[in-house]
Structure 1
């Protein structure tokens, strides 16, 4: 059976996200989550559809990828196709041949969950590994403890607060108020919760966005940030707890996040909020 590579239309993105929702499971490794596509929707529907890639066999999606950057593909595969040789070989061909329209020539990276046959075949093609990332998980069976600070939903009216914290937290000028407004207009807006932690003076100190994959499935933290003026005061732990509680209210079975292993502060914050560290993962890289 032929495996077809495609770039969905705006409406087709929903189908890709629906497949990702079905593939999320507490027993599965850290992998591309529908919330990752949701977070990319800060660039709008027209800016999201062109970066999605799907691989389908006999009309069924068996792999989904998202170009998080022109040279970085984040992807995963249907659980029953993790060791499927036909799927793995087609993926390797498409990743290695620039004319297929997935990755360009030269240095590129691929984020894929451990356990895929894809990794074995990329090793044969002499792809290496990049710096480690640390996955963290928190079970949501039991209620989440009180964060101890004022938590308020971040809606369209607080879009500038959201942008201000993220710019400060990640030392970048990219986040704008349009990010929050675009997510509010997305068709999957019911699956997202955006929250802010405020200090005694009413200033926003930290924000978090969490994404549900549906009841009984793991939710995702993407992103969480603390304003530089409020670091070291427990706001990171507080807003992370608030995000976990929001996911539990949405029916999520657990909460997941992945951060660079070199970001010791982020790892410590998530651990303080009850997240458990899992085995490190690494992107695959092809040197130009």
Structure 2
């Protein structure tokens, strides 16, 4: 049986989250269960509608999350990243809008940097996008004290957690209701929301951390500092608290990714002990390109 593109529905989200946990390692960063967990703020049905899977004989080989109609974030099983058949199927599904993955027009694909799908997309005219910087902090040793008060933001602090998020990111629509929806999702069983306070008791920064299980990398997504309290080291402090929380959850390392152009964010993470990894780039399509003559014909899901 060939490779099958599918939409798992709400009942299949557990399987998608499960393989994403299993695939996390210290190799090139890829879609993390925490990325699905953060998307879950829109609810289980919306998350299921944004997920795609590629499977053979019941085994999931790749999982994609449509962060938007123009952006697919892709994870691939480590032993399948160099498989030509899977890469060809992925490219066919990503380049033909009628297959129900990406829409017409501009589009981007984020995939593990060692996956052969990058090469095939390049052959189809997809260019390298803007650079992103992944950073990783090893958690074998204890993390130093952040120097500020940090609390786990449970349901009783949902309003405060959401307010800091909106004050940290222009245009954010995060609310207490969306925080509750996120915390009801499967990935949040191994996650924590943290809020940092200054000496006057003001909430100054927040982060959500996501474990993929003991011995696997955990994710910071998102981390932000309140716009009225920037420039005082609170980004470093909350990043240190995030790393400590992931260590308590059993994570082997803490990972985060930020646009390389955001020098302030890169500096914040490095000051918290994160090490820069080689830059990564999405594959970007400026317009919907016509199929190449030797492309396989379109098939339904």
Which residue does 2:94 correspond to in 1? 95
- Tell me the TM-score normalised to structure 1 length: 0.98
Task: Say if 2:141 is the partner of 1:142.
Answer: yes
Which residue does 1:69 correspond to in 2? 68
Give aligned pairs, total: 287
| Moved beyond 4 Å, runs of 4+ | none
Which residue does 2:175 correspond to in 1? 176
CA positional deviation for 1:46 = 1.3
Q: What SS is found at the alignment partner of 2:143? A: coil
CA distance in 1, matches of 2:189, 2:44: 16
Which residue does 1:188 correspond to in 2? 187
CA positional deviation for 1:160 = 1.6
Q: What SS is found at the alignment partner of 2:189? A: helix
CA distance in 2, matches of 1:51, 1:206: 29
CA positional deviation for 1:34 = 0.5
What is the root-mean-square deviation of aligned Cα atoms in Å? 0.9
- Tell me the TM-score normalised to structure 2 length: 0.94
CA contact (8 A) 1:75 1:111 kept: yes
CA distance in 1, matches of 2:146, 2:170: 25
Q: What SS is found at the alignment partner of 2:186? A: coil
Range that drifts further, 177-186 or 103-112: 177-186
What are the superposed Cα offsets for residues 35-75 of structure 1, whole Å, 9 maximum, x if unpaired? 00011011111111000000001110000000001100000
Q: What SS is found at the alignment partner of 2:10? A: coil
CA distance in 1, matches of 2:122, 2:7: 26
Task: Say if 2:51 is the partner of 1:52.
Answer: yes
Equivalences for residues 1-288 of structure 1 within 5 A:
1-26=1-26, 28-288=27-287
CA contact (8 A) 1:155 1:180 kept: no
CA distance in 2, matches of 1:200, 1:47: 40
CA positional deviation for 1:267 = 0.5
Which residue does 2:296 correspond to in 1? none
CA distance in 1, matches of 2:237, 2:217: 20
CA positional deviation for 1:115 = 1.1
CA distance in 1, matches of 2:227, 2:271: 19
CA positional deviation for 1:167 = 1.3
CA contact (8 A) 2:17 2:187 kept: no
Q: Residues 16 and 234 (structure 1 numbering): CA distance in 2 closer, same or farther, change over 3 Å? A: same
CA contact (8 A) 2:20 2:32 kept: yes
CA distance in 2, matches of 1:188, 1:40: 10
